[in-house]
Amino acid sequence: MTQDHSRHGVLLVALGTPDSPTPAGVRAFLKEFLSDPRVVDLNPLIWKPVLYGIILNVRPRKVAKAYQSIWTENGSPLMHISKLQQQKLTEKLEAMTDWPIPVELGMTYGNPSLSTGLKRLQEQNVDKVVVLPVFPQYSCSTVAPVSDGLAKAMLTRRNVPEVRMQKEYHLDPDYISALADSVRRHWDANGRADKLLMSFHGVPQRYVDEGDPYEMQCHATGDALAEALGLSSDEYLVTFQSRFGKEPWLQPYTDETVNSLPKQGVKSLDVICPAFSADCLETLEEIAEEVRDEFLEAGGERYQYIPCLNDDDAHIELMAKLALAQMQGF
């Protein structure tokens, strides 16, 4: 007998994106993002003057230019891809259950907010919500803020829904298989480089020292992907990108590693970002543009970026399986 999913819904959660690629749009986004103590846990008496007095007056203009370089006629790439994921996941869930299961978007920061996503689900009579953050590896700076945001969103609700949240899926066989298939397709179309570099978003080293399992899960994902591709230990690298501030972050750093590789005889490089479920500023501008230029300037000859899983069919099927597994007995 098929389970009755009539009161279930899915809240698909991404980090978020500015509403516009303008200094004002970026400033509003960064203000919310960098004010979260899960992201920057410095003493507010020290951090707030720096944030409001320096960062929010200087950084938005620079970041806006970066967003302008990747903005499309569909708007923010992350938002456009997230909407495609939402649409395809809705269709996949109905195909797998023979019952419509609403899927709404909620961003940890920016719009639509987590509260808006919950409201839209409840307006469709959903009272059992599966929260699916699109972060394969758990971190206190990505998944934990989703939990915080959900609790905050429910503070003003008289009738709160039941909630289950997917914490991580860094070794899910379907996730590893989807990544491996994307690499193989890239190799089939473009040939294979000297090395495969797996660049994960970084976090401060201190977070890991204090108990965040993120680094361990990133390496586990990297090793599993390498095994699925039949790579030896000298054919791939795991690095960490997008560091911010002065304290040490997880190493090795992606940019420093890429700069050093040509001197070691690595002339061609394939790069994939397994921690990102949708292409965004950190992949399209930082990895596909900035880091590529650094590699070529350092003496590299060929650099290829392998896109995120985005709305690939295997990725959508993975999401559907994760959501349905959470619904069992719920």
Percent share of the chain, pLDDT over 90: 96
Percent share of the chain, pLDDT over 70: 98
| CB contact set of 39 (below 8 Å; sequence gap of 6+) | 33, 141, 145
Band of pLDDT at residue 161, cut at 50, 70 and 90: very high
Band of pLDDT at residue 236, cut at 50, 70 and 90: very high
Q: What is the pLDDT of residue 187?
A: 98
Band of pLDDT at residue 1, cut at 50, 70 and 90: very low
Report the b/e string of 8-17 with b at 16+ CB within 10 A: bbbbbbbbbb
Paired with 204 in beta bridges are 249
Task: Give the residue-averaged pLDDT of 197-223.
Answer: 98
Q: Are 18 and 110 in contact (CB under 8 A)?
A: yes
Q: What are 164's two structure tokens?
A: 């289950």
Beta strands in 79-232 (DSSP E): 103-107, 128-133, 162-165, 195-201
Q: How far is residue 130's CA from residue 117's CA, in Å, rounded to a whole number?
A: 12
Q: What is the pLDDT of residue 246?
A: 87
H or E stretch at 178: helix 173-190
Q: What are 221's two structure tokens?
A: 């994902």
The burial class, CB within 10 Å (0-12 / 13-18 / 19+), for 43 is: exposed
- For 283-299, write each residue's pLDDT tens digit: 999 999 999 999 999 99
Task: Give the residue-averaged pLDDT of 52-58.
Answer: 96
How far apart, in Å, are the Cα atoms of 119 and each of 14, 78, 105, 193, 238? 17, 22, 11, 47, 39
| CB contact set of 101 (below 8 Å; sequence gap of 6+) | 5, 8, 9, 10, 90, 93, 94, 323
Task: Give the residue-averaged pLDDT of 32-51.
Answer: 96
Q: How far is residue 188's CA from residue 197's CA, in Å, rounded to a whole number?
A: 17
Task: Give the residue-averaged pLDDT of 199-228.
Answer: 98
Q: Is pLDDT above 80 for 142? A: yes
Band of pLDDT at residue 303, cut at 50, 70 and 90: very high
Q: What is the pLDDT of residue 245?
A: 85
Binding-site residue set: 201, 282
Q: How far is residue 226's CA from residue 327's CA, in Å, rounded to a whole number?
A: 31
Q: What is the pLDDT of residue 3?
A: 56
Q: What is the pLDDT of residue 4?
A: 59
The whole model's pTM is what? 0.95
Q: What is the pLDDT of residue 36?
A: 97
User: What integer best gives the mean pLDDT of the chain?
Assistant: 96
Binding-site residue set for Fe(2+): 201, 282
